[in-house]
Structure 1
């Protein structure tokens, strides 16, 4: 509880769009044969839903979900539904999550990511009747481990300079 709370600069909407575009590009890479590659778009939707709920909302999540549905050639709306629910619950919890240290934030994010994967799993099960197994949820665990790195990287442009100017009041 004694950690300092820094005043962050306002985030640029261009930076948010660029980070979501980079996450989308990371999801486009052919990593399908590897087990445990996290869903970067889902991770960034949770991050921006927690840190900037007024700038990244459910509409953005729905659009990115449709884009991922087209790319993955899955049932149209599968990722869109999961991302929309993920964004809704991230926005709903954003005030609570920000009060905690970074690893406790990651623990709060974990059920959100598992819920999104469960929604995708249920849709796939209703359509095909097949389940991928328990290794399917390793993606959420790896995304939670990446949460501190993603937080550090995406909040870095908003932090004020370390060398303070003593003529400014803040």
Structure 2
């Protein structure tokens, strides 16, 4: 009986290790697709002014732990804060008021593609922003740090919209 238990443990360990290899191609728990195109534009949000948004007008956020160099929001975090992801070789498009020199990409551990960055910050949407031009995630403390919108210069706005007249 002990040999069967040992064999079962070894089999489960082998399956777990084999499953880990899939993470390089995307998060197997939270599959997301990398888009064939992405545009970054400005939208005016009451209490905040013009902030970055995707091509559909949904506000984009930055996450300070990314430290302008990496994507740290993966797995369940990316379920609440899906990254603005594009497929390999896709160049994001700058809309009116967006500096194309500030647009770039970083490898995305969620999709296997790339996350669009602005001023070095990876860009994310907030799942509770169900309508374009809303910013319910602004200054929201989730996943260990606050989330902020960015202005056209690529600077995080640390203003809490509730405190703004």
Q: Give the TM-score of the pair, scaled to structure 2.
A: 0.25
Q: Which has the larger radius of gyration?
A: 2
